[in-house]
């Protein structure tokens, strides 16, 4: 399942997509959880009883701000969460 | 209505229905789904995996009470007691506050499952236009979610936004859709992406000489454009189906269909019960699995 967390507002679209099929039995040992400086990721048992990752509720409506420090102007050459996610389950829309 | 009493143009019709051709007393498994949304609450009772009855009403200021009142309607009409229901699943915004629920499941999974029942297994794309959020969902032939996207950051493009316009225009909400087609020329969409600003813009249009119908048409178009931009992010695969209260508004539905170049699948069921129905069906599947394990 592709789970898109985020929002669209007047300034743009801010979604983090998680391919939860790649999260089940994560080959990277849930590295995204520790890689994210804002600790936005957490595990969840989804509606189909699989343990997957999701974005914390409190962060979903402010992704543009939460992720700002990791974007190129923040000094990172690649996003820490996407780099840590070796199965390639994570994508940012912006 | 007495003098001085304000008419509630936004108030949509609550409904309670029982399938008299079915008997819950003969059923092996009776399950219920309770969808406590931000604007409306529904209770659906299924007997052996088939829809038996539902109650749809406005959500109050207390989620447990809303859940209880929603189910009470079906129980009273059918002569059923809460103890007669084998399994209850809560869903929606207030799903964790359903006091008698055995389990909570997200409304995303429940709407997909409900849509699969209501419009058939060929449904692949679902647009749930809820009271205060909007979801685009892809599912497989079993109604299992394969992709989803939601926008709950603002009320533009939601049922609550339409209620605000109904109140502003002083036209009953059920009439808005049809009246939006009663215009000489289709107006441009209201440009604001926020309900508060859209309200100001609608007032400005009225002052500039727009008729009420033209303003409603502009708002319906804005709502359609907004949700289409959301659904296009995950793509539209036929069959396409719309759930939630806005599915009853032809002014928005036909404009969405025009923008997407497709026709929404029809159903004989109330579009607002999709989430609660899906929850009740999840309960039925769980009970079946449990029975199979025990055998």
Task: Quote the pLDDT of residue B19.
Answer: 96
Task: Quote the pLDDT of residue A4.
Answer: 95
The CATH class of A2-92 is alpha beta
Name the minimum distance, in Å, from the CA of B43 to any CA of chain A.
20
Angle at B43 between CA B138 and CA B94, to 5 degrees: 70
Q: Does domain B121-264 have CATH number 1.20.910.10?
A: no
pLDDT digits (tens, 9 = 90+) for A26-38: 999 999 999 999 9
Per-residue pLDDT in tens (0 to 9) along chain B, 295 residues: 555 667 889 888 899 999 999 999 999 999 999 999 989 999 999 999 999 999 999 998 899 999 999 999 999 999 999 999 999 999 998 999 999 999 999 999 999 999 999 999 999 999 999 888 889 999 999 999 999 998 777 666 688 888 889 999 999 999 999 999 999 999 999 876 677 777 888 899 999 999 999 999 999 999 999 889 889 989 999 999 999 999 999 999 999 999 999 999 999 999 999 999 999 999 999 999 999 988 8
The CATH class of B15-117+273-294 is alpha beta
Task: Quote the pLDDT of residue B192.
Answer: 65
User: What is the C-alpha to C-alpha distance for residues B249 and B261, in angstroms, rounded to an integer?
Assistant: 18
- Write out the two tokens for B5: 């009493």
- Write out the two tokens for A73: 């102007």
B contacts of A14 (beta carbons < 8 Å): none
Angle at B66 between CA B65 and CA B72, to 5 degrees: 85
**Common-topology check for domains B15-117+273-294 and B121-264:** yes
Asked if residue B161 lies in contact with residue B198, where contact means CB atoms within 8 angstroms, the answer is yes
* Strand B15-18 to B30-36 pairing: unpaired
The answer to whether A7 contacts B151, with C-beta atoms less than 8 Å apart, is: yes
Dihedral, CA of residue B194, residue A6, residue B38 and residue B264, to nearest 10: 80
Task: Quote the pLDDT of residue B132.
Answer: 82
Task: Quote the pLDDT of residue A72.
Answer: 86
Predicted complex ipTM: 0.88
B contacts of A8 (beta carbons < 8 Å): 151, 153, 229-230
Per domain, the residue ranges of chain B are 15-117+273-294, 121-264
A contacts of B158 (beta carbons < 8 Å): none
Picking from B111, B153, B198, B235 by the largest number of A CB atoms within 10 A of its own CB, the best residue to mutate is B153
- Write out the two tokens for B146: 């394969």
A contacts of B96 (beta carbons < 8 Å): none
Beta strands in chain B (DSSP E): 15-18, 30-36, 40-47, 50-58, 87-91, 103-104, 125-129, 134-139, 145-151, 240-243
Q: Which residue is closest to A11 within chain B, CA to CA?
A: B193
Q: Which residue is closest to B285 within chain A, CA to CA?
A: A48
pTM value is 0.92
* Strand B30-36 to B40-47 pairing: antiparallel
The answer to whether A2 contacts B147, with C-beta atoms less than 8 Å apart, is: yes
Q: Which residues of chain A have pLDDT under 50?
A: none
- Cβ-nearest to B154 among A9, A15, A93: A9
A contacts of B146 (beta carbons < 8 Å): 1-2
Per domain, the residue ranges of chain A are 2-92
The answer to whether A2 contacts B144, with C-beta atoms less than 8 Å apart, is: no
Task: Quote the pLDDT of residue B138.
Answer: 97
Q: Walk across the sheet containing B87-91 and list its strands.
A: B15-18, B50-58, B40-47, B30-36, B87-91, B103-104
Chain A interface residues (partner B, CB cutoff 8 A): 1-4, 7-10, 13, 15, 47-48, 61, 93
Name the minimum distance, in Å, from the CA of B151 to any CA of chain A.
5
Rg (CA), chain A: 13
């Amino acid at each position: 399942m592709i789970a898109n967390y985020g929002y669209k507002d007047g300034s743009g679209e801010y979604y983090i997509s998680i391919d939860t099929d790649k999260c089940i039995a994560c080959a990277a040992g849930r590295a995204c959880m520790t890689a994210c400086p804002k600790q936005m990721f957490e595990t969840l048992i989804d509606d189909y009883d699989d343990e997957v990752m999701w974005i914390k509720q409190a962060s979903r409506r402010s992704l543009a701000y939460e992720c700002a420090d990791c974007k190129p102007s923040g000094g990172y050459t690649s996003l820490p969460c996407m780099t840590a996610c070796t199965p390639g389950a994570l994508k940012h829309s912006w | 209505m007495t003098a001085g009493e304000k008419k509630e143009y936004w108030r949509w019709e609550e409904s309670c229905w029982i399938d008299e051709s079915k008997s819950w007393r003969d059923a092996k498994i009776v399950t219920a789904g309770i969808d406590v949304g931000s604007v409306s609450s529904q209770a659906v009772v299924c007997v052996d995996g088939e829809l038996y009855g539902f109650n749809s009403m406005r959500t109050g200021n207390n989620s447990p009470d809303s859940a209880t009142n929603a189910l009470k309607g079906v129980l009273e009409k059918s002569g059923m007691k809460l103890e007669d229901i084998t399994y209850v699943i809560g869903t929606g915004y207030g799903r964790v506050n359903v006091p008698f629920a055995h389990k909570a499941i997200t409304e995303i999974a429940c709407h997909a499952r409900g849509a699969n029942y209501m419009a058939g297994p060929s449904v692949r794309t679902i647009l749930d236009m809820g009271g205060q959020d909007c979801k685009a969902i892809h599912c497989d032939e079993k109604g299992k979610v394969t992709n989803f996207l939601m926008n709950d950051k603002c009320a533009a493009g939601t049922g609550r936004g339409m209620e605000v316009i109904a109140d502003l225009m002083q036209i009953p909400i059920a009439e808005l859709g049809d009246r939006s087609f009663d215009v000489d020329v289709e107006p441009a969409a209201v440009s604001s992406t926020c309900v508060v600003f859209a309200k100001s813009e609608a007032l400005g249009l009225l002052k500039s000489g727009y008729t009420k119908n033209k303003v409603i048409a502009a708002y319906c178009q804005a709502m359609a454009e907004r949700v289409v931009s959301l659904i296009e992010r995950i793509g539209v695969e036929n069959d396409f189906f719309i759930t939630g209260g806005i599915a009853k508004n032809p002014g928005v539905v036909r404009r969405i269909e025009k923008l997407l170049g497709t026709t929404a699948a029809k159903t004989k069921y109330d579009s607002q019960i999709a989430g609660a129905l899906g929850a009740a069906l999840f309960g039925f599947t769980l009970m079946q699995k449990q029975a199979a394990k025990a055998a």
